[in-house]
Amino acid sequence: MDIPMETPTTETTGAAAPAQEAARPTTALGWAGRIGSWLVLVVATVIAVGLLAITVGPKFLPYEALVVRSGSMAPAIPTGSIVFYGKKAADKVKVGDIIVFNRPGVANEKVTHRVFKIGHSDTGRYAITKGDANGTPDDWQVPLQGTGWVASFHVPVIGYALVDLESTIGRLLLLVIPALALGAITLYEIWRDRGGAKA
């Protein structure tokens, strides 16, 4: 007499659902950590590139880069912007150009202002400059001889961070932050791979 054998069935218990629900926050938290680490790395990289652009780049490439620390050229160039300048022959400078020059009578201070007027004297051409946010032109004359630096474009905001990074501690942090971000990403990848292998 043959006794029919029952086919084993797999039952899903109620414990599986909570386990799946518990796994979801962990996955979400992992993704949030990963995205956060990448964002920190991207920001640190941008700052590092900016720092190299204003310290190392001008020594090898034909441009200058300076951080604007006053609001005299707002809103065209906001405070905290990095301005990049290209070379231009002095006889080609015209009204409306934004130039950088040494402030007359003040050592080691550069001014970025717009050419308001061009005049001529016995010694040659000169520019009268004016900050866009200032009510009156500057009270000096900038000689236009040889070649000078004319603003090509600017990058806002990032100059604030670069000013802080001029200190030794700031530059140290610039190296530490990307290293920590890379370490966090690496540890997360190892943790994720091991978790997948166990599963």
**Res 40 pLDDT > 80:** no
In a domain, residue 17? The reply is no
In a domain, residue 101? The reply is yes
Mean pLDDT of the chain: 79
In a domain, residue 19? The reply is no
In a domain, residue 13? The reply is no
Judge if 85 and 150 occupy the same domain.
yes
Model pTM score: 0.64
Reported confidence tier of residue 170, pLDDT bands at 50, 70, 90:
low
Reported confidence tier of residue 53, pLDDT bands at 50, 70, 90:
confident
Please tell me the total count of domains within the chain.
2
Judge if 84 and 150 occupy the same domain.
yes
The torsion of the CA quartet 141, 143, 147, 153, rounded to 10 degrees, works out to 0
How far is the C-alpha of 191 from the C-alpha of 34, rounded, in Å?
12
Q: What is the pLDDT of residues 150-160, one digit of tens each?
A: 999 998 887 77
pLDDT, position 1: 53
Judge if 111 and 31 occupy the same domain.
no
Residue 133 sits in which domain range? 62-156
Q: What is the pLDDT of residues 104-125, one digit of tens each?
A: 888 889 999 999 999 999 989 9
Cα dihedral sign, 182-188-190-192: negative
Judge if 126 and 145 occupy the same domain.
yes
Residue % of the chain over a pLDDT of 90: 39
Judge if 136 and 84 occupy the same domain.
yes
Judge if 89 and 125 occupy the same domain.
yes
